[in-house]
Amino acid sequence: MSAVRPNWQALAALVTGLISLAGLPFTATMGTGASLLVTAIVLVAAILSMLKLRPVAQAIILAVASHFAAWLLIGGLADAFGTAGFGYFAALAASWLLAWRLVTVLSEMKFIAPVAKRTIALIVPAIFGIWILILWEALTRGAGVPFVLLPPPSSIGARIVTSTNILAADFVQTVVKAVLVGYIIGTFSGFLVAVMADRFRFLAAGLLPVGNMVAALPMIGIAPIMVIWFGFDWQSKAAVVVVMTFFPMLVNTLAGLAATGHMERDLMRTYGAGHWQVLAKLRLPVAMPFIFNALKINSTLALIGAIVAEFFGTPVVGMGFRISTEVGRMNLDMVWAEIALAAVVGSLFYGLLALAERIVTFWHPSYR
Amino acid sequence: MSTLPVISAKNLDLVFQTGDGSVHALSDITLDIEKGEFVSLIGPSGCGKTTLLRVIADLEKPTSGEISVNGTTPEKARLDGAYGYVFQQAALFPWRTIAKNVALPLEIMGLPAEERTSRIKRNLDLVNLTGFEKKFPWQLSGGMQQRASIARALAVEPDMLLMDEPFGALDEIVRDHLNAELLKLWATTQKTIVFVTHSIPEAVYLSTKIVVMSPRPGRIHEIIDCDLGADRPLDIRETPEFLKIAHQVRDGLREGHSYDE
């Protein structure tokens, strides 16, 4: 047995690292020494990672080397916007390959302790996310991508830090007022109407086609009308959200209420259970996975609806308002800051619902 | 005897209207079941044995004929909780623990919490499931699930148990075991049991009376008394008396089954 165990990421990192030697120095402000240091780190780490070391040792070497190299590379861009040569990108690619190897090593590690498993399950996507930001930063600034086209994450981050007041006000206006109020009214009324339509069949027969039609209406058409009806402030945006979230909840709840098996319904009949008893003890629990489906779909629909509805008239606050005006003023970092905020809010909203779903429908075959 | 039969059917007919014509599910069924009897309905699929059980349970309405359950209409008997029904599958609710599943009919009846607790304990004990109260149905084997569903049926404290192929989905070893347990249960509770099956040994082993049915239209072909006595160990199935009755049932099934299709 040889002491070397080659892998393609390390080999590729070795090759790209050597290539980067032909493009010294990497940027206008990065000296040859600093450039050579990056290459040396990458080459040493690539060779070390091919030795038969313990996975933990490999992971530590790869993590330190790839991120230190990336840190040096990004640091080398200070006052050197758009001056990176091909050596720079070769070194960047080499350190990215090392990070790829790191993720591979981490994913192949086998742990028995649940804490270790959960930590790895968090670290792997975190490394993914960090490297998206690293590559984004290094590519936009290294290659000199125009700010309007795609600002680097560092300036978006700086904008977030300096504009917390504006972002907080926009968050309250759009999310706390329009999304939350609209979401609660829309989903709750959709649920109630579904329960009623299930009890009185004529309601279902009459309502479903109308609901279908309303759901098919373009939001672009509804939003200005809602502004005329409910005014410029958040109420009109909440109304758009109500219209958007009502129908998915109605349809999903109706489907869920119809999902009960014959045997279970016969069982309740042998007990002489009334309609509302069957609903509470059998049909609603069975419908819960469907209802949570609608809640999750609606969480994204509500955010989209409220933001886009603000394009059609609004007071001078709100995430949609900010996006549309800052685009006009070429302040793309502010637009991206709002997008980042929306992404975080949307993910949290969805994540909370998914968590609640796990708790409520613990018995469902997909969770137990 | 002067006591009225618990179940009395006279000239029952049931025709299902389906998209492509009508199906004669039950034809001219006349049957009396006395209190404390163990009656098996046996026959090939399509003979109406399950349908007959469902008519007794008021899950289907007969097209014509008369039927009384506990001296009243099936509907009133159902609403009075006169019977407990055990289905082909356990039909336990997966979001309820075993104890909560047994509590389900008791909640619907509106019994106070203390009474519910004592009935859950007593009936889980009866089917040997003590200690599994807090488990969820999907954590139990198929045989245990079916026992839990029997406990749920018994918790109503009905005079009758209506069982629709309750052990049909279980393997033979578990089935033998549950058959023996069911006989013990029948002996201790003195309930009237109507049992649908398509297994001849099961019917002979369990019953005091076997109703042989035949299909198209579903009708009663023959009623066979099965007087093997109250004490029936599992190896009674090797005895000549047992085999004689089993043979009689098989003959009845063969005569009743038309092979002209």
The rounded distance, in Å, linking the Cα atoms of A316 and A314 is 6
| pLDDT reported for residue B2 | 46
The rounded distance, in Å, linking the Cα atoms of A65 and A58 is 11
Q: What is the ipTM of this complex?
A: 0.89
Give the burial string for B16-40 (b: 16+ CB within 10 Å, else e): eeeeeeebbbbbebebebbbebbbb
Contact B150, B90 (CB under 8 A): no
Token pair 């591979």: residue? A104
Q: Tell which wins on pLDDT, A27 or A132.
A: A132
Q: What is the CATH number of domain A161-360?
A: 1.10.3720.10
Cβ-defined contact of A271 to B94 (cutoff 8 Å)? no
Whether a cis peptide bond, with omega within 30° of 0, leads into A25 is: yes
Contact A152, A141 (CB under 8 A): yes
Q: Count the neighbouring beta carbons within 10 Å of the beta carbon of residue A21.
A: 15
Please give the angle made by the CA atoms of A219, A222 and A224, to the nearest 5 degrees: 110
Bridge partner list, B163: B86, B195
Asked whether residue A177 carries a pLDDT value surpassing 60, the answer given is: yes
Q: Count the neighbouring beta carbons within 10 Å of the beta carbon of residue A101.
A: 26
The domains of chain A are located at 8-145, 161-360
Q: Predicted confidence band at A55 (pLDDT cuts at 50, 70, 90)? A: confident
DSSP state of A281: I
Q: What percent of chain B has pLDDT over 90?
A: 29
For residue B44, the SS3 value is coil
Q: Predicted confidence band at B3 (pLDDT cuts at 50, 70, 90)? A: low
Residue A361 to residues A194, B47, B91, Cα–Cα distance (Å): 20, 40, 18
| pLDDT reported for residue A2 | 66
Per-residue pLDDT tens for A212-247?
Answer: 888 788 888 888 899 999 988 999 999 999 999 999
The rounded distance, in Å, linking the Cα atoms of A226 and A306 is 12
Q: What percent of chain A has pLDDT over 70?
A: 99
B81–chain A nearest CA distance, Å:
7
Q: Tell which wins on pLDDT, A64 or A118.
A: A64
Average pLDDT of span A81-100: 92
Average pLDDT of span B122-131: 88
Cβ-defined contact of B84 to A362 (cutoff 8 Å)? no
Cβ-defined contact of B87 to A261 (cutoff 8 Å)? no
Asked whether residue B117 carries a pLDDT value surpassing 90, the answer given is: yes
Task: Tell me the average pLDDT of chain B.
Answer: 87
The rounded distance, in Å, linking the Cα atoms of A275 and A350 is 33
Whats the size of chain B, residue-wise?
A: 261
Cβ-defined contact of A363 to B94 (cutoff 8 Å)? yes
- Name the nearest CA neighbour of B211 among B201, B196, B199: B196
Which of A269, A281, A362 faces B104 most closely, judged by CB atoms? A281
Q: Going edge to edge, which strands form the sheet with B219-225?
A: B83-86, B160-164, B192-197, B38-42, B209-214, B219-225
Contact A324, A310 (CB under 8 A): yes
Q: Going edge to edge, which strands form the sheet with B21-33?
A: B21-33, B7-18, B64-69
Asked whether residue A5 carries a pLDDT value surpassing 50, the answer given is: yes
Contact A197, A204 (CB under 8 A): yes
Contact A223, A312 (CB under 8 A): yes
Q: What percent of chain A has pLDDT over 90?
A: 66
| pLDDT reported for residue B258 | 58
Interface test with B, best of A265, A271, A277, A359 (most B CBs within 10 A): A271
Q: How many Cα atoms occupy the beta-carbon half-sphere of B117 within 13 Å?
A: 3
Interface test with A, best of B60, B75, B89, B95 (most A CBs within 10 A): B95
The rounded distance, in Å, linking the Cα atoms of A135 and B138 is 48
The rounded distance, in Å, linking the Cα atoms of A340 and A343 is 5
- Name the nearest CA neighbour of A99 among A59, A72, A48: A59
| pLDDT reported for residue B132 | 93
Cβ neighbours for B58, distance < 8 A, ≥ 6 positions apart: B69, B73, B74, B75, B77, B78
Total CB pairs under 8 A between chain A and B: 52
Cβ-defined contact of B79 to A281 (cutoff 8 Å)? no
A260–chain B nearest CA distance, Å:
11
Token pair 């795609």: residue? A150
Contact A241, A349 (CB under 8 A): no
Cβ-defined contact of A363 to B104 (cutoff 8 Å)? no
Asked whether residue A327 carries a pLDDT value surpassing 70, the answer given is: yes
Cβ-defined contact of A273 to B108 (cutoff 8 Å)? yes
Q: Tell which wins on pLDDT, A92 or A114.
A: A92
Cβ-defined contact of A270 to B91 (cutoff 8 Å)? no
Cβ-defined contact of B109 to A271 (cutoff 8 Å)? yes
| pLDDT reported for residue A220 | 84
Average pLDDT of span B218-245: 84
| pLDDT reported for residue A276 | 92
Interface of A with B in 168-207 (CB under 8 A): none
Asked whether residue B38 carries a pLDDT value surpassing 70, the answer given is: yes
A265–chain B nearest CA distance, Å:
10
Residue B209 to residues A255, B105, B176, B229, Cα–Cα distance (Å): 45, 30, 19, 12
Q: Tell which wins on pLDDT, B227 or A327.
A: A327
Chain B hits for A273, Cβ within 8 Å: 108
Chain B hits for A361, Cβ within 8 Å: 95
The rounded distance, in Å, linking the Cα atoms of A232 and A230 is 7
Contact A48, A61 (CB under 8 A): yes
Question: Chain A: residue nearest B76 by CA?
Answer: A272
| pLDDT reported for residue B100 | 93
Both structure tokens of A230: 């409910």
Asked whether residue B190 carries a pLDDT value surpassing 60, the answer given is: yes
Asked whether residue A44 carries a pLDDT value surpassing 90, the answer given is: yes
Asked whether residue B260 carries a pLDDT value surpassing 50, the answer given is: no
The rounded distance, in Å, linking the Cα atoms of B44 and B259 is 12
Average pLDDT of span A140-155: 91
Q: Tell which wins on pLDDT, A217 or A138.
A: A138
Q: What percent of chain B has pLDDT over 70?
A: 97
Helix H segments across B91-141?
A: 98-109, 113-126
Asked whether residue B261 carries a pLDDT value surpassing 80, the answer given is: no
Contact B12, B26 (CB under 8 A): yes
Interface of A with B in 250-289 (CB under 8 A): 261, 263-264, 266-273, 277, 281-282, 285
Average pLDDT of span B124-152: 90
Token pair 């330190």: residue? A64
Cβ-defined contact of A270 to B89 (cutoff 8 Å)? no
Contact A152, A332 (CB under 8 A): no
Contact A287, A271 (CB under 8 A): no
Cβ-defined contact of B78 to A270 (cutoff 8 Å)? yes
Architecture of domain B7-82+158-256: 3-Layer(aba) Sandwich (3.40)
Cβ-defined contact of A261 to B88 (cutoff 8 Å)? no
Which of A273, A281, A368 faces B138 most closely, judged by CB atoms? A368
The rounded distance, in Å, linking the Cα atoms of A79 and A88 is 15
